[in-house]
């Protein structure tokens, strides 16, 4: 006579032994799942690739080069000079009709560019850097302290040529959107 135990879960496979691993209850299933997260064979089995078609902005490399030249190949916020870590951040995005011209760009390191795009920080029309209030009040490690909180209230490093300075009208538009989020002060 047999007693049916259900539900059961197939939580693994032992191919060398031609066996499956069965969990008889939720606790066993959870234990197996937790152990599996760190099993190197599982990572190899999950590694998959697919080809994709990507739309590239053909003007982007030229835009980046011109912006980095205007800013002497340094981040306008923190002065980092490793060009492989620098981007040309659009003030007004391509998707919003922003032009790929130097006054619509600011040279930023990767962390400042991502922060700018995510509205963690902004640049006011007077070229002063503003970091969101919640981020300024947060307690974390040295990256937050120096890379984000440390630039709040600082002035943007501007290009030598006035014609290359960020367009104040575009900065005003962007700053108004930042303020509309209600996370400033």
Place of tokens 């998959």: 48
Structure tokens belonging to residue 89: 């951040």
* DSSP class per residue in the chain: --------EEEEEEGGGTEEEEE-SHHHHHHHHHHHTT-HHHHHHH-----------TTHHHHHHHHHHHTTTS-TTT----GGGEEEEESS-GGGT--SSGGGEEEEEHHHHHHHHTTSEEE-TTSBEEE-HHHHH----HIIIIIIGGGTTPBPPPPSSGGGSPPHHHHHHHHHHHHHTT---
| In-domain check, residue 123 | yes
How does pLDDT run along the chain (185 residues), one tens digit per residue? 777 777 888 888 888 888 888 888 888 888 877 776 665 555 555 567 778 888 888 889 999 999 999 999 999 999 999 999 999 999 999 989 999 999 999 999 999 999 999 999 999 999 999 999 999 999 999 999 999 999 999 999 999 999 999 999 999 999 999 999 877 66
For 123, phi then psi, to 5°, come to -120, 120
Q: Can you give the pLDDT at residue 27? A: 85
66 and 146 both lie in a single domain: yes
| In-domain check, residue 185 | no
Q: Can you give the pLDDT at residue 55? A: 85
Q: Can you give the pLDDT at residue 47? A: 62
Number of domains within the chain: 2
71 and 17 both lie in a single domain: no
80 and 160 both lie in a single domain: yes
Q: Can you give the pLDDT at residue 96? A: 93
* Residue range(s) defining the domain that contains residue 30: 9-46
Structure tokens belonging to residue 71: 């800013």
113 and 142 both lie in a single domain: yes
Q: Can you give the pLDDT at residue 31? A: 82
Q: Can you give the pLDDT at residue 46? A: 59
69 and 18 both lie in a single domain: no
Angle at 73 between CA 71 and CA 75, to 5 degrees: 75
């Amino acid at each position: 006579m047999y007693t049916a135990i259900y539900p059961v879960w197939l939580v693994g496979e032992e191919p060398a032994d031609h066996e499956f691993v069965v969990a008889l209850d939720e606790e066993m299933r959870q234990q197996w799942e937790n152990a599996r997260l760190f099993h190197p064979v599982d990572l190899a089995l999950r590694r998959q690739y697919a080809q994709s078609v990507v739309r590239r902005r053909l003007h982007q490399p030229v835009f980046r080069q011109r912006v980095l030249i205007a800013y002497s190949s340094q981040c306008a916020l923190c002065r980092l000079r490793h060009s492989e870590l620098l981007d040309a951040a659009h003030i007004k995005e391509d998707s919003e009709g922003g032009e790929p011209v130097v006054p619509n760009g600011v040279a930023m390191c990767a962390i400042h560019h991502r922060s700018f795009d995510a509205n963690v920080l902004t640049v006011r029309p007077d070229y002063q850097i503003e970091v969101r209030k919640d981020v300024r009040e947060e307690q974390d490690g040295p990256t937050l302290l120096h890379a984000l909180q440390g630039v709040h209230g600082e002035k943007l490093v501007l290009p030598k040529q006035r014609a290359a300075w960020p367009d104040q009208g575009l900065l005003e538009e962007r700053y108004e959107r930042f303020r509309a989020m209600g996370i400033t002060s």
